[in-house]
Structure 1
């Protein structure tokens, strides 16, 4: 481990795919909040099914009442948001089922949410799912995304990062 200027140890973290599907750049997300990285940096996944697992080990710090998004914080302080689809909040939870609650400890690969991808495609703008490090500027020193046409949930590495 490296130490930064303040003596804090830098940690390498790996994100794994939270869904089965194609991993793409945030540049391909048809929503400026994500594509312009207003919420932070990360990647996106075009899902092939509706099972969402944790991309990293940590604590659930937020599960939206509509179950369309979940936030996880690691021991090193990295905060990761998995946001299922675009404009899915308007579905008011229809087609989403949460399997965790705020305060739960999770490991990478643990089941978080189940959703109906066909319903999302019908009722929302898209099912593409951004995976965002929301405190990127404060927590991340370096970020190396890994794109894949066939990512497996809980197994395929989608990014490696070094904390500040």
Structure 2
């Protein structure tokens, strides 16, 4: 019996304005070595995080430093706001969403007071990761350099049986 696979492309928008960087530039081995997943990072120049996809909030950490979104296609995206920001215990973060909430592209998720926290953490670089890489056939980076929130950032091709 043959199994036929179809491919579907999912566009991930920039969740925050800033400078696009490779994961290898994030000063944290878990992200730089793609241990949690593959993707891209943004060095933010803005304080508002928006939903990069249509989907559901499947995880939001009590410290608000990271959240997970699952797309309608089953792609799992983790957005981690800065490096070692878990240590801030929520300081500088204001959430506008909760677990299991449906979100649309561009919905406001979290506001971050980078000015009050950037001197307390190693970096404010924000990794945007695909954590279920077993579903991914290919990731294309659509923009480099400066990017504005809600612009196309990644195209992810997923395999579906």
TM-score by length of 2: 0.93
Q: In 2, Cα distance between the equivalents of 1:132 and 1:13?
A: 14
Quote the residue 2:71 is aligned against: 74
Is the 1:25–1:147 Cα contact (8 Å) retained in structure 2? Answer: no
Cα deviation, 1:88-125, whole Å, max 9, x if unaligned, reads 00000001011101111111111100011112211111
What secondary structure, in the 3-state scheme, does the structure 2 residue paired with 1:11 have?
A: strand
Measured after TM superposition, the shift of residue 8 of structure 1 is 5.2
Match for residue 56 of structure 2?
59
In the alignment of these two chains, the number of paired residues is 158
CA RMSD of aligned residues (A): 1.2
Describe how 1:43-54 pairs up with structure 2 within 5 A. Answer: 43-54=40-51
Q: Which runs of 5+ in 1 are unaligned?
A: none
Following TM superposition, the consecutive aligned residue runs of length 4 or more in structure 1 with deviations greater than 4 angstroms are none
Q: Distance in 1 between matches of 2:117 and 2:84?
A: 9
Partner of 1:102: 99
Deviation track 1:113-162 (CA, whole Å, cap 9, x = no partner) reads 001111221111111000000111x11011111342221111x2111011
Show the counterpart of 2:36.
39
Q: Is the 8 A contact 1:99 1:111 kept in 2?
A: yes
